[in-house]
Amino acid sequence: MAETNEIIDEIFLEFEDGIEKATAHLKSELLTVRAGRANPHVLDKVYVDYYGTPTPLNHISNITVQDARMLVISPWDISLVKEINKAIMASDIGLTPSDDGRNIRLSFPALTEDRRRELVKNTRGLAEEAKIACRNERRDALEKLKKMKKDGAISEDDMSSYEKDVQKTLDAATAKIDSIMDEKEKEIMQV
């Protein structure tokens, strides 16, 4: 019986870990969404050709917020200014860099109402992907529990109780994802 409890605990730990990973991934993806204010995280996915090696921009430069709508990128190696410009232009962040030979400036224009709605739609898609990942984790956990019931390791009553616990955990994760999404939507729609 003790071994059965350990297996069940492991199933629940894997389930909760999967949900936590899906939520953390959503948060990291939402950080890269441009909401009209200068945010260094929009550059997290920009990689620069650093002597033949694709390197994250924040590993080869300082990125600072000059004011609410301006980022300043100060490369540690000034010879990389052209490569950084090229990498920013090739990325899909929708910003045009300007440089003075030493620093690169990214100006964040005010978002139009249509662009704000489009960003909200995209972020809702990201939230839905996170919910789907959580539901997949639920399915995997329930399949493992059903196999244990089929093998006679747990009773019908225990199975019913475990199903309720899994659903309760999923409901809490869905509520958390909705809360994260609502917060991001308010940030995007704020003028």
Map out the domains of the chain with their CATH numbers. Answer: 2-32+112-189 (1.10.132.20), 40-107 (3.30.1360.40)
- pLDDT above 90 for 31: no
Over residues 116-138, mean pLDDT? 92
Q: Which residues contact 84 (CB under 8 A, 6 or more apart)?
A: 48, 57, 60, 61, 73, 75, 97, 104
The per-residue pLDDT for 136 is 95
**Dist CA 102 CA 149 (whole Å):** 66
User: What average pLDDT does the chain have?
Assistant: 87
CA distances to 58, 71, 93, 104, 171 from 62, rounded to whole Å, are 6, 10, 18, 10, 41
Residue type, 109: P
pTM: 0.73
